[in-house]
Amino acid sequence: MIYFDNSSTTKALKEIIDTFVTVNEQYWANPSSIHEFGHQTDELLQSARKQVADVLKTVDEKVYFTSGGTESNNLAIFGLANKYKHRGNHVLISAIEHPSIIEAAKMLQKQGFIVELIPVNKEGYIKLEELDSLLRHDTVLVSVMHVNNETGAIQPINEIASLIKSKSRAVFHMDAVQSFGKMVVNFDEQYVDAITISSHKIHGLKGSGLLALKSTIEITPILFGGGQESGVRSGTTPVPLSVCTAKAIRIANANLNTHMESILKMSEEVTTFLKKFSSIKIISPEIKAPHIVSFSVRGVKGEVFINALQKEDVIVSTSSACSSKQTQTSHVLKAMHLEDDYIKGVIRLSFSYMNTPEEVQQFKRIFTKVMNVIKGD
């Protein structure tokens, strides 16, 4: 199988699965228990938290382990907006956010906040002049993703953050689910207050991830109970998953340059290949994360290609895994005003360092064959 759908999920590393098994076998106590076994388990949990804090260069107390990107994004939207609501009730998110931000923000609106969308241009980048005019003195929260999961577009995070800081007192949250481990993410240097990371996008385990805050930022919980995770995320902390999250983050960070280089080579080669077909339009813009290549074949539904490629054991997806089972057109492509001829034909290839140049060569052969059958190109 050639798996080019790494933005949907990645294969867990063997060493991470081994760690999961070991921690479950040896440190299965409740880390909140006051007996020695509980203490030992808690020590392991706190060392995992410290490892994450060291990579992100924030303080340990502001790293909260969660069930993944969706929960972290929900926590950021509800938790930050509510924490700072004494400053105002205006919230901004970009028009191309992941549904875990958009749907949470819709709910926030029902609870009395005013939520507005920051539009993007044809390439999928936030319009800075629009952000400038949308920011208000009572804006409490702005949430913008670092890399878009459908196109790979990288947002100009530092420019966005400077604008926010110069015009408001808003807290700035960045969904880094598609950027962390794929490109440089300097949480300490960026004027970003909160960051979401999901483990299963970086060869860790599904159902795990984190929200981290800068040391001065505070947050209101969305889960209430025993007060675990400094009161921010009640529920017995899943130590094995949290240790594996820390390990996935460490491995991704330590090997970033080599991983980026190999992914970039593969995606550049595929892009050059795709550009040769007259009916293909590359949707991914110029400034994009290396692992995503999004393109569209004029007049052919993306599903047709996905099924045809699957018969040849090549796994790709439509614009995003989340929307691919739904019949509606992607909100991201609509926000980019992609032409009707192309909008239904979008296919996303997403690479990992686990892919090989040989797979790329094979993909080129198989895609050419499929294209001949479907388009007669």
Residues designated as active site: 322
Q: How far is CA 108 from the centre of its chain?
A: 21
Under DSSP, the state recorded for 143 is: E
Pattern 74-103, ligand PLP, x by CB under 6 A = ------------------------x-x---
Pattern 318-337, ligand PLP, x by CB under 6 A = ----x---------------
For residues 239 and 252, is the Cβ–Cβ distance under 8 A?
Answer: no
Q: How is 214-225 classified by DSSP, letter by letter? A: -TT-----SB-S
The piece of 53-61, 64-72, 120-128, 259-267 that touches ligand PLP (CB under 6 A) is 64-72
Cα–Cα distance between 84 and 301 in angstroms, integer?
Answer: 45
Q: Mapping DSSP to helix (H, G, I), strand (E, B) and coil, where does residue 114 land? A: strand
Residue nearest to ligand PLP (CB): 69
- We find the least distance from the C-beta atom of residue 285 to ligand PLP, in angstroms, to be 16
| Binding-site member from 70, 228, 237, 317 for ligand PLP (CB under 6 A) | 70
C-alpha distances (whole Å) from 80 to each of 28, 74, 175, 176, 219 are: 32, 10, 14, 17, 5
| Nearer CB in complex with ligand PLP: 51/100 | 100
| Binding-site member from 45, 62, 104, 175 for ligand PLP (CB under 6 A) | 175
Cα–Cα distance between 271 and 215 in angstroms, integer?
Answer: 41
Task: Please report which helix (H) or strand (E) contains residue 207, including its range.
Answer: none
Dihedral over Cα of 334, 306, 353, 323: its sign: positive
| Nearer CB in complex with ligand PLP: 176/266 | 176
Pattern 257-296, ligand PLP, x by CB under 6 A = ----------------------------------------
Residues near ligand PLP (CB under 6 A): 68-70, 73, 98, 100, 145, 149, 175, 177-178, 198, 200, 209, 322
